[in-house]
Amino acid sequence: MPQHLVWFRSDLRTLDNPALFAASQQGQVTGLFLLTPEQWRVHGISDYKIAFMLRSIDVASQHLAKLGIETQIVLGSDFGDAPSQVLEAAKSINATKVFWNDEVAIDEQRRDTRVTSALADAGIAVERHQGFTSLPPGSVRKPDGSPYSVFTPFKKRWFAHCIDRGVHCLPRPEPQGSPVAGAATPAVVDGVSKSFGEDRWPSGEANALTTLQEFAAEKIRDYESERDLPNLQGTSQLSPHLAAGTISANQCLEAAYQHNDHRLFGGNPGADTWISELVWREFYNHILAEHPRLATGHAFKKETDALPWNLSKEQLQRWQQGETGFPFVDAGMRQLNSTGWMHNRLRMVTAQFLAKHLFLDWRLGESYFMARLVDGDFAANNGGWQWSASTGTDAVPYFRIFNPIRQAERFDPNGDFVRRMIPELAGADKKQVLEPWKYGGVDGYPAPMIDLSTARDQTLAVWKLARS
């Protein structure tokens, strides 16, 4: 029977894994996981996400072992090692073909080109699949064949494709033999213990499925009304699993479809809204595939690369530490720093505060988020930051600037979330907790670092000058 190697990357699951399923249909499978800590650092991946991935690899290896699939876990340094390591793993089992699911970003594409070349030189075939998004990048295009750059028409076309194709998930492969011993990642990789954050972020495919099932059964119908309220557990908490690939976009869509009267849209408002958020994830990954330069620090709107951004290190540090003096902003940053995650409403508020009120380069915020987030996904993070900074595709207009006080009044009106995240304000009353400076201030909590109205006017003036 032919021997095949399946190289796992951001697809750490056995269900709905196109590369794994295809390989299992064609021969005997061995799994490969490459650990590239130096590359993770170059990409600014957080300790939370590194530990989450390591634990998820362990779980995937155990699941594969139950199917009789042996795994190899290889510790390297960066993507430069990949050609020789994949080739060595393939040769060790006399593989005739190597399978993997493609990744979108430019460094990963370049790595895969080099690996393909090394395997071809050795007479080993490559079979590439796509499993990070529901619809493959490049498959959703305008009637004239050009790519979309605005979300709403992309979404309409995406729905049309999905309805034609249907929402289907691949099964887990049949066992290829008796169970075998599973492999395990090192306890510590590049100074990161794989147990870091495990109490807050249970990892692996089984936990992903449980989280999805509970959300779809219990919370999805209230998603529209509760998703913007950071003091409630109104979101799915699936973003770390989607980023690591312990669950697929198709699995999420199928669950939403089943709990939405068997509709992709036009059903329950909560399910409709959550599905729309999944389409935003699709959109940003498709955009990144069409415009690889976005992975090299460039804005989608090229003219905005010339904006004269503020370079204040002191202001950046205060934003990073959650000491701006604006409680809703600071609560979001402190949530990020202490948990490795931030509520989506607060991601927009904190990003706009940095890029609009402080007029600091959005790339500083983008990299800081990636270095802290357990769910760091380059396409989604980049897309969200460029949306907030008005530099990206389908971005918020430059003159639309979230007021953090009004945002707090709408989404944390009693200040419960602020009190939970900012101990200095734990005893503040309803009025004082959102605008403490108006009521004598609070010992230990800083005064506002800027005047919102003045900062807004200055930002608008710079934008208007740049546009002229």
**Catalytic pick among 127, 337, 344, 409:** 344
Q: Is 319 annotated as catalytic?
A: no
Tokens 């003045």 sit on residue: 454
CB 34 within 8 A of CB 82: yes
Q: Which of 127, 224, 226, 280 is catalytic?
A: 280
- Specify whether 435 is catalytic: no
Helices 249-258, 269-290: axis angle to 10 degrees equals 160
Q: Is 344 a catalytic residue?
A: yes
- Own/partner contacts of 271-274, CB < 8 Å, gap of 24 or more, are 271/220, 271/221, 271/223, 272/224, 273/223, 273/224, 273/227, 274/220, 274/223, 274/227, 274/236
Query: Active site includes 387?
Result: no
The verdict on whether 381 is a catalytic residue reads no
Closest CA to 128 of 295, 251, 7: 7
309 has catalytic annotation: yes
Cα distance between residue 200 and residue 51, in whole Å = 12
DSSP state string for 406-431: HHHHHHSTT-HHHHHH-GGGTT--HH
Residue in 38, 224, 277, 290 annotated catalytic: 277
Angle between helices 362-370 and 344-352 (to 10 degrees): 150
Give Cα separations from 147 to 12, 154, 287, 289, 317 (angstroms): 29, 9, 8, 10, 38
Catalytic residue among 38, 309, 409, 437: 309
The catalytic residue among 40, 319, 341, 362 is: 362
Question: What residues are annotated to the active site?
Answer: 277, 280, 309, 344, 362, 385
